Chains A and B, each alone.
Chain A
Amino acid sequence: MPVKWVLYWQPNQGSTVSTQILNEAAQCAESISGVKEGRWKATLNYYKPLLRDQSSTHHPDSLPRDFLGISLPDHPAKYYFIIRSQRIVVEADASIQIIMEKLQSYKSKVSLHFDGFQYHLGDFRLRVGRVVPVHSESIRGIVMEVEYLPISSMEKARKVMEEFVEIWHEALSKRSLSGKFVNVELNFGEFGLADNYTPQHTGVQYAIVMAHMIATVQPAVRG
């Protein structure tokens, strides 16, 4: 599977994220000869434990507060769970969601869509998309996936990915936007993941990106 980096838009201090940035990023992709291929969409759910006795203090702190699940467009038959604090990532069939529903121990408290357009640029595939809560148009953030199609080794792809991101930053800087796309350096080994790229790597990146986004990005009032 090709190596993929997931970046997120970090606005400058005092700025918010907006649809305009998404539009500028899309135009930037086309300006560097990106060929629009179509739309893409992913869905992420944050789960919280259901407690029979809310007043009880039985085991509340031992239960994770960062348990999330994500479905990815390239693997519609699969579902990925991540507990970031425990460095756990699990791949499962999509039917795992039905099992979790029947267990009635966890419930989705927040659902987010990632959607936008994807572009083909030579050996790269680029996806730019907004982050919006389900049933809302309020844009919560912007993400970008950069995929280098020929290589599966993260280490071998590192240099060429860095060069691409540098070219991208240069092209985007001409549009005078208040912010930049950020790539978060990750130690995939902590999650038990190897150098060969897998969808689980993507799941982990989205979990980390969301954690950073929640901590640093102010939501826009309206997209």
Chain B
Amino acid sequence: MVLFHLLVSTEILFFCRLITVSVCCAEGFVRSEEDNSMECVVQGIIETQHVEALEILPQGLCGVQRERLRVHELTLKSLPNLGVVPSEVRLLCDLDQPEPTWTVKHVGGSMRGAGADQISVMVRTMIQSKVSKNALRMFYSLGYKLDHELLKVGFAFHFQRNAHISVSVSSVSKMPKIHAIDETVPVTPGMQIVNVTASATPENYGLCTCRNRLNPWELCRQLLRLLHLLCRMEVVLHCKKFEAKS
């Protein structure tokens, strides 16, 4: 996973003109091409002391209130020999609701190729589905086991600019004991994860100003260009996995 280290300025503008991506559906479980989603992802790390400054900007620019974020994320992996290929699925439990709600999420690999090589952000498939509370038990029965779990606490902004855009800032913690969300240990003490995602679906096709309407990389290129122009920051590219296993 590619990260870039952001030294925070006070001027971060999130402005996206979105492209749609046509994704071909496979046979079998798939019911509708509209259900397939691509997302553009920009991730970074911010020192905790700068989080307050970072929080003010999206609120002013996007006109939405921040939402609290407290999510227990469980990553499950298939048992050996199960499946055509080894598979992984994430279960997210939103603990901030009066009654915890669950979501199943499948994140695909990053897009590759000449276009992807030109940018340092991720474009990947992402499908999610709300599920009832015993989904974890179901996946255990289907031959999936818990690989690791994390607790993410922070805040998020969700807004619509012809597509759904999310900006979240959260501390990520691991659990020394299974499901012990009250006894967590920060994965990156003093640092929080900044996540910006923008969805691309057939519904918002045709709204971009890119030269090639079918090119999904232009969105990410524009986003990164804006971040470079509007933020007085140093961008350093790292490649590492920041979601440590518990």
Contact = CB atoms under 8 A, between A and B. Distances in A.
Interface of A: 49-53, 56, 58-59, 62-64, 67, 81, 83, 86, 88-108, 192, 200
Contacts of A101: 26, 28-30
B131 A90 contact: yes
Given A64-B142, A88-B138, A99-B106, A105 B131 contact: no
B134 interface: yes
Contact of A67 (B79, B128, B142): B142
A90 B134 contact: yes
8 contacts: A51-B82, A59-B82, A64-B142, A95-B127, A95-B129, A97-B31, A105-B82, A105-B143
A96 B135 CA distance: 11
B168 interface: no
B89 A103 contact: yes
Contact of A99 (B84, B85, B129, B134): B129
A106 B29 CA distance: 9
Interface in B54-92: 78-85, 87, 89
Given A90-B131, A98-B36, A59 B80 contact: yes
A90 B78 contact: no
Given A95-B35, A98-B35, A99-B127, A50 B142 contact: no
A192 B130 CA distance: 18
Nearest to B88: A103
A105 B30 contact: no
Given A51-B83, A92-B132, A103-B87, 16 more contacts: A51-B82, A59-B79, A62-B143, A86-B141, A90-B132, A90-B134, A91-B131, A92-B104, A92-B131, A93-B129, A94-B129, A97-B31, A100-B29, A105-B87, A106-B142, A107-B28
B143 A63 contact: yes
Contacts of A62: 143
A99 B89 contact: yes
B108 interface: yes
Contacts of A67: 142
Interface of B: 25-26, 28-32, 35-36, 78-85, 87, 89, 104-106, 108, 125, 127-132, 134-135, 137-138, 141-143
A103 B35 CA distance: 15
A106 B31 CA distance: 16
Main secondary structure of the interface of A (DSSP, over half): mixed
A172 to B, nearest CB: 36
B213 to A, nearest CB: 24
Contact of A63 (B32, B82, B105, B138): B82
Contacts of B106: 98-99, 102-103
Name the residue in A50, A102, A108 with the highest tally of chain B Cβ atoms < 10 Å from its Cβ. A102
B75 to A, nearest CB: 13
Contacts of B30: 97-98, 101
Contacts of B78: 103, 105
B127 A102 contact: yes
Name the residue in A58, A63, A93, A105 with the highest tally of chain B Cβ atoms < 10 Å from its Cβ. A105
B134 A88 contact: yes
B87 to A, nearest CB: 4
Contacts of B127: 95, 98-99, 102
A91 B129 contact: no
Contact of B132 (A49, A91, A98, A99): A91
Contact of A92 (B35, B87, B135, B143): B135
Given A63-B142, A105-B78, A105-B83, A97 B29 contact: yes
Given A83-B138, A101-B28, A101-B29, A59 B143 contact: yes
A168 B128 CA distance: 44
B81 A56 contact: yes
Contact of B141 (A50, A88, A91): A88
Contacts of B89: 99, 103
B84 A104 contact: yes
Name the residue in B25, B31, B81 with the highest tally of chain A Cβ atoms < 10 Å from its Cβ. B81
A115 B105 CA distance: 32
